[in-house]
Structure 1
Amino acid sequence: MSGIGRKQTPEIREIRYRRLSRPVDSLEITTIKALRQGAHESEFTGPQRIDFELIVWIERGTITHEVDFARYELGPGDVLWVHTGQVQRWGDIAAVDGIMCMMPATALDTALTDRLDRIGGWARSHWPADGSGAAQDFAMLLSHYRRHRDLAGHDAEAYDAAMVLLTSGVLMMLASRDLGDTKSEWGGHELLWRFRAEVDRHHAQRRSTRWYARRLGYSERTLHRVVLAHLGVTPRQVIEDRMVLEAKRMLVHDSGSISTVARSLGFDDQSNFSKVFKRSTGLTPGEFRTSSR
């Protein structure tokens, strides 16, 4: 994988972004075919955690791609956006071709990342080829980069910087258009995206709805009312769901004991952790680990 450094662990492959000859806050665009030809087949098996933004546009073929335990059936024209820190698992990568864009999250325009927080754009990964135009716009941008970047000569660095800005703009349109339920849920109230951001940061240490309400400057009653009205679940459920996602990642991709996972997520008692996990998934942590490996 040109431009990407790799570190192997027993359970999960850590995929790190590393520019070889251009600024770190740059982007790399290549084809799936070129990526596949430059790496051993084994590098696309098993789970991978990436520390950069990965956007894939499928041009030919079909593939099943898993992102944080959600499975996406991708076909021609579909766009998949895997975010920094997410765990992905490729299907049969030899069955597809298309264009891939990779960049560190720090390369994204701050106005874009703020807007994504507000509308809940980070919550979505898959945009099907439904004729909305956003996916096609993105594919055209990537194709343009592939054709013209080498012609930039000594101005290639400036060309890359301009392309990062253009890519940020297209990603903004992609996340804003046709968000459907995702937009109506997370984009309806400022409190929602602020609450989500705090839960992302503190779910392993804090599970009290009152703590989050105070931190956000709202009453617990207001937080409960807004979250329930827009998401159909309680704040407690949002916090628990985020904790369970992290638990799933650790159970499947790390070799630590269940008690270690429980302690990492703020549980002093493994039995309490197991009870919460089973209530959410229907499986004990041990059963989930066995069935998912």
Structure 2
Amino acid sequence: MEIPTQKEIRINDKFDSKALFKIAPFDPRKSVTSPHKHNGYLELVFLTATSGTHVIDGRETAVVPPCLLIIKKEQVHHWTLTAPVSGYVILVKKPFVEESLDRDIRKLVEEVSRYSHIPLPSGEYLQALSVLLTHEENPLCIEGLFKAFLAKALEKKSHSIKQLHTSHTLYAQFCALLDEQQLVNHVGHYAQLLHTSQQNLSIACKKSVGLTASEVLAERLIHEAKRLLYYTHKTVAEVAQALHFSDESNFSKYFKRYTGLTPSAFRKL
């Protein structure tokens, strides 16, 4: 099966300009689509009733509900589904994952993105979560429900989230240290613990997630800093000390570089 040339590929955008997360019941008018890409977001399609085929980058898969279809932002896809179609469509932009105060959401999104199709033994649990998500407006509740949705969808997969913590890859071992130990603002500290060089650690991270070791550590540090600023009464100086920055000024410059805000400004949001 041929994939259309780049000039022929339509790019769909189902998002409002400022939205980072969206869920809606499947639109029955879109049961048959032509090849297209998405405008910078991950699409998860949870189907409870239909049949047909789904094609991603030229690879065709039979659709047998209940199932979850996963379309990454760079992929070209289309489907032919038989009416009636029942289910939900979830759209997730990268900043939603990056700005989440729950570090497990990033891991779960990374894990679900390994797949293009996940057959489900039952759709009842995900159906209930989808209904709750469509009516929820509280950002923290949305994160919690979405986390539960992903964890349940991945429950029966061989590469489950539990195995991410026990994997023997250098990147996974690095992530395990970041999860289990107090964060230290120095890649060399973790390279020494893993008995490798900073260069090797960065290569492993780059191969796994496309980020250097410093960038992976920076994401964790910023997430942890946001949690401490949001959930605790620690001063900015105390947060800087907790994250092993040399002083408050150094921490503030680091935080602003990655967020565009000073720690004090973030706390006032």
Aligned mate of 1:217, from 201, 218, 241: 201
Distance in structure 2 (CA, Å) of the matches to 1:105 and 1:16: 14
Aligned mate of 1:16, from 13, 29, 33: 13
In structure 2, relative to structure 1, the CA distance for the partners of 1:92 and 1:115 (3 Å cut) is: closer
Amino acid of the structure 2 residue aligned with 1:169: K
1:57, CA displacement in angstroms? 1.6
Q: Are 1:26 and 1:160, in contact at CA under 8 Å, matched by a contact in 2?
A: no
1:62, CA displacement in angstroms? 0.5
Q: Which residue of 1 aligns with 2:252?
A: none
Distance in structure 2 (CA, Å) of the matches to 1:27 and 1:163: 14
Aligned mate of 1:64, from 53, 61, 72: 53
Q: Are 1:62 and 1:95, in contact at CA under 8 Å, matched by a contact in 2?
A: no
Distance in structure 2 (CA, Å) of the matches to 1:117 and 1:102: 12
Q: Which residue of 2 aligns with 1:89?
A: 78
> How well do the aligned residues superpose, as a CA RMSD in angstroms?
3.8
Q: Secondary structure at the match of 2:13?
A: strand
Aligned mate of 2:125, from 137, 141, 144: 137
In structure 2, relative to structure 1, the CA distance for the partners of 1:117 and 1:140 (3 Å cut) is: closer
Q: Which residue of 2 aligns with 1:111?
A: 103
Q: Secondary structure at the match of 1:19?
A: coil
Task: Deviation per CA, 1:39-84: give whole Å up to 9, x if none.
Answer: xx6xx21233442121112122212112234332222211122233
Unaligned runs of 5+ in 1: 1-8, 150-158, 196-212, 224-234, 239-293
Q: Given the alignment of the two structures, is residue 165 of structure 1 paired with residue 159 of structure 2, yes or no?
A: no
Q: Are 1:116 and 1:172, in contact at CA under 8 Å, matched by a contact in 2?
A: yes
In structure 2, relative to structure 1, the CA distance for the partners of 1:92 and 1:139 (3 Å cut) is: same
Q: Which residue of 1 aligns with 2:87?
A: 98
Q: Which residue of 2 aligns with 1:32?
A: 27
1:176, CA displacement in angstroms? 4.3
Distance in structure 2 (CA, Å) of the matches to 1:194 and 1:82: 28
Aligned mate of 2:118, from 127, 130, 133: 127
Unaligned runs of 5+ in 2: 1-5, 175-196, 209-269
Task: Deviation per CA, 1:244-265: give whole Å up to 9, x if none.
Answer: xxxxxxxxxxxxxxxxxxxxxx
TM-score (normalizing by structure 1): 0.47
Amino acid of the structure 1 residue aligned with 2:151: M
Distance in structure 2 (CA, Å) of the matches to 1:28 and 1:57: 10
1:188, CA displacement in angstroms? 1.5
Q: Given the alignment of the two structures, is residue 180 of structure 1 paired with residue 161 of structure 2, yes or no?
A: no
Amino acid of the structure 1 residue aligned with 2:104: L
Distance in structure 2 (CA, Å) of the matches to 1:124 and 1:130: 16
Q: Are 1:61 and 1:96, in contact at CA under 8 Å, matched by a contact in 2?
A: yes
Q: Are 1:15 and 1:51, in contact at CA under 8 Å, matched by a contact in 2?
A: no
TM-score (normalizing by structure 2): 0.51
In structure 2, relative to structure 1, the CA distance for the partners of 1:167 and 1:215 (3 Å cut) is: farther
Q: Secondary structure at the match of 2:8?
A: coil
Distance in structure 2 (CA, Å) of the matches to 1:188 and 1:216: 17
Amino acid of the structure 2 residue aligned with 1:141: L
Amino acid of the structure 2 residue aligned with 1:36: K
Pairs aligned (count): 175
Amino acid of the structure 2 residue aligned with 1:179: K
1:162, CA displacement in angstroms? 4.3
Q: Percent identity?
A: 14
Distance in structure 2 (CA, Å) of the matches to 1:46 and 1:194: 39
Q: Are 1:138 and 1:171, in contact at CA under 8 Å, matched by a contact in 2?
A: yes
Q: Secondary structure at the match of 1:76?
A: coil
Distance in structure 2 (CA, Å) of the matches to 1:106 and 1:113: 12
In structure 2, relative to structure 1, the CA distance for the partners of 1:113 and 1:71 (3 Å cut) is: farther
1:139, CA displacement in angstroms? 1.8
Q: Secondary structure at the match of 1:173?
A: helix
Amino acid of the structure 2 residue aligned with 1:123: R
Distance in structure 2 (CA, Å) of the matches to 1:63 and 1:163: 34
Distance in structure 2 (CA, Å) of the matches to 1:160 and 1:26: 12
